[in-house]
Structures are given as C-alpha cells and as structure tokens.
Chain A
Amino acid sequence: GAVVSQHPSWVICKSGTSVKIECRSLDFQATTMFWYRQFPKQSLMLMATSNEGSKATYEQGVEKDKFLINHASLTLSTLTVTSAHPEDSSFYICSARVGGASTEAFFGQGTRLTVV
C-alpha cells in the first residue's frame, strides 16, 4: 500500500506552547488528507478534512483556531496545536487519500502528544 509518514511519533510539550505535527505522503500525491484524534480504547474521531490549496473543513466542535491545519502541497499537511493544554493530550493520526473520493486512504503512524 501507499506510504504515509507522520512526524514526530511522540512529543511532550509544556502547557501554553504550540506543537506542529507533519503528515507526508511519500510515494503518491494526496489531494485530500484527514486528521483524527483517538482516545484510549476509542475509535477515531475525525477533526478535519484537508484539501490541498484550500482551507480545511473542520468537524463540529473542533476549534479551528486551536487546531491549525495547513495543506500547502500535495504531499504535506500539518496540524499545529496552539497554546496546548493537558486536555489536548491525545493520539493524533493523519490519513491521506490516494486519489478521488472512491479511493482508499492510508494512515500515518500517529503522534502521541503529552502536554505537561
């Protein structure tokens, strides 16, 4: 399958600081990427859909000013958690779709964020 690389795999930051997570499609161009959040023993919670060259579409209840998403190229999307707080600690995962709406999406390795 297609390869999606997510970096970093884990990060610890102080409360009030910002953290940037990168999601790269290594062997394909991804017009659409998705950002998810996952709590322990829970399913994936979609945060936003990111389309290259346009503003991300956020799900209801997700603060767009807190979770900044940039999809400036066909191989890179970034999620920045601004002014992080302990309640933002979670597992964040991106996925990238290989083509149009009918195609499959592949996931990155995930990033475990701990805010202290």
Chain B
Amino acid sequence: QKEVEQDPGPLSVPEGAIVSLNCTYSNSAFQYFMWYRQYSRKGPELLMYTYSSGNKEDGRFTAQVDKSSKYISLFIRDSQPSDSATYLCAMKGASGGSYIPTFGRGTSLIVHP
C-alpha cells in the first residue's frame, strides 16, 4: 500500500459544478496537508496548506482534513474551465525524515463549458 493514495481520474464535470478531490493516507505521523494545482508542462502551484484536522477556506477552494479517518479533501465551488488541471495532494510530518512531503499521484480534472 502506498503512503498516499489518490485516484488519477480523469474527473470530468460541467462548468459550475462542485468538485470533490480526495486522498487517503496511511502514515499517522503526517501533520501538514497540502493541495497543489499543476497545469500541463508547468510546476505545481500551492493552493492550500493546512495543519492537523479541520477545514480551511480560500475563495472557491475548501480543504478538509480528517486525521481520524486519514482522509483529506479539496472542494472547488463553481468550477471553471480554467480549473482544468492535475491536482496533487501532499502531506508531511513534523520531525525527522517525515518533514519531506509525500505526494499523491494527482487527479486530472476536466471542467467542460
């Protein structure tokens, strides 16, 4: 079992839909959770950075962390065609070698007009 599992998709939704992207993980040492957006042939762009369990909202994006279930989500409201990209989850611990982020393989999102 990989440390971080993420469905590669593709996930295809109509414009305006609410998108839910998810990752599960197995390492209970993870404390920090991140979501990156990556457009084709570009470097990942940090969208959300959260610590421990709970919700964090930034514009149309909401990150949710449930450490008890080892499950994290990214919600995108009112999705736009410009949101079409690959979304990578990442997580890391707070000490020793666990501070190096572990990435999911990314979910490809397609928002069609």
Minimum CB–CB distance from B90 to chain A (whole Å) comes to: 8
Residue of B nearest to A94 (CB): B43
- Contacting pair A104 B41 (CB below 8 A): no
Most chain B Cβ neighbours within 10 Å, of A43, A49, A104, A109: A43
Which residues of A87-116 are within 8 A (CB) of B?
Answer: 91, 93, 95, 101-102, 104-110, 112
B44 and chain A: residue at smallest CB distance = A107
Query: Does the CB pair B44–A101 fall under 8 Å?
Result: no
Interface segment out of the listed B11-19, B74-82, B98-106 = B98-106
- A61: Cβ under 8 A from any B Cβ: no
Question: Could you tell me if A101 and B95 are in contact, using CB atoms closer than 8 angstroms?
Answer: yes
Closest residue to A112 on the B side, CB-wise?
Answer: B41
Q: Is the interface of A mostly helix, strand, loop or mixed?
A: strand
Say whether A25 faces chain B, with CB atoms less than 8 Å apart: no
- Known contacts A41-B8, A101-B94, A104-B49; A110/B103 CB under 8 A: no
Q: Which residues of A contact B36 (CB under 8 A)?
A: 107
Check: B34 CB closer than 8 A to any chain A CB. yes
Please indicate which of the listed interface residues A42, A49, A102, A110 has the most CB atoms of chain B within 10 Å of its own CB: A102
Q: Is residue A67 contacting chain B, with contact meaning CB distance below 8 A?
A: no
Chain B residue numbers with a CB within 8 Å of A34 are 100-101
A5-28 vs B, Cβ < 8 Å mask (1 yes, 0 no): 010000000000000000000000
Enumerate B13-48 residues with CB–CB distance to A below 8 Å. 31-32, 34, 36, 41-46
- Report yes or no: A43 in contact with B103, Cβ–Cβ below 8 A: yes
What distance in Å separates the Cβ of A101 from its nearest Cβ neighbour in chain B? 4
Cβ contact within 8 Å between A43 and B43: no
State whether A104 touches B34 (Cβ < 8 A). Answer: yes
Given contacts A108-B43, A110-B42, A110-B43, contact A101 B88 (CB under 8 A): no
In the complex, chain A residues whose CB is within 8 Å of the CB of B46 = 1, 104-107
Query: Which residues on A sit within 8 Å (CB–CB) of B45?
Result: 1, 107
**Contact B94 A102, beta carbon cutoff 8 Å:** yes
Residue-wise, chain A 59-82 has the 8 Å CB interface mask toward B (1 for contact) of 000000000000000000000000
User: Contacts of B94 on A, CB cut-off 8 Å?
Assistant: 101-102
Tell which of A42, A109, A112 touches B105, judged by Cβ atoms closer than 8 Å.
A42
